Amino acid sequence: MTIHVNIGEAKTRLSELVAAALRGEEVILQKAGVPKLKLVPIEIANRAEREEIARRRVQAVGAFKEEFKGFDLSLEALKADRGDPEERFRRKFGSAD
């Protein structure tokens, strides 16, 4: 179910609208009848952001598709290849002593 509400009305019903968004309902805030924003739980927003980053990465790598064949290009795999941040710091700046 989608809930459309004017921004002025949303001020008085904010708790109710947040609860609805957390239940999975789509909550659209409008100004003068024009949709302006959507209330979305952080988990969903973060997931959408990660999916967009992954989509752009795949698109950018598409030009080098053959060179990257067989590589795991997921964000988690790329982060795992970074190694220990303390070790990288020591290699770059020397010992902290």
The pLDDT tens digits for 65-79 are: 777 778 787 777 777
Q: CB count, 10 Å around CB of 44?
A: 11
CA distance 82 to 56: 21
CA distance 8 to 86: 50
| Domain housing 12 | 2-40
Q: Which residue reads 């999975």 in tokens?
A: 24
- Same domain (yes/no): 57, 69: yes
- Same domain (yes/no): 51, 87: yes
pLDDT in tens, 10-58: 999 999 999 999 998 999 999 999 999 999 888 888 888 888 888 888 7
- Same domain (yes/no): 55, 34: no
- Same domain (yes/no): 12, 52: no
Strands annotated E in 7-59: 26-31, 34-39
Number of domains in the chain: 2
- Same domain (yes/no): 36, 49: no
CA distance 81 to 12: 49
- Same domain (yes/no): 18, 53: no
pTM score over 0.75: no
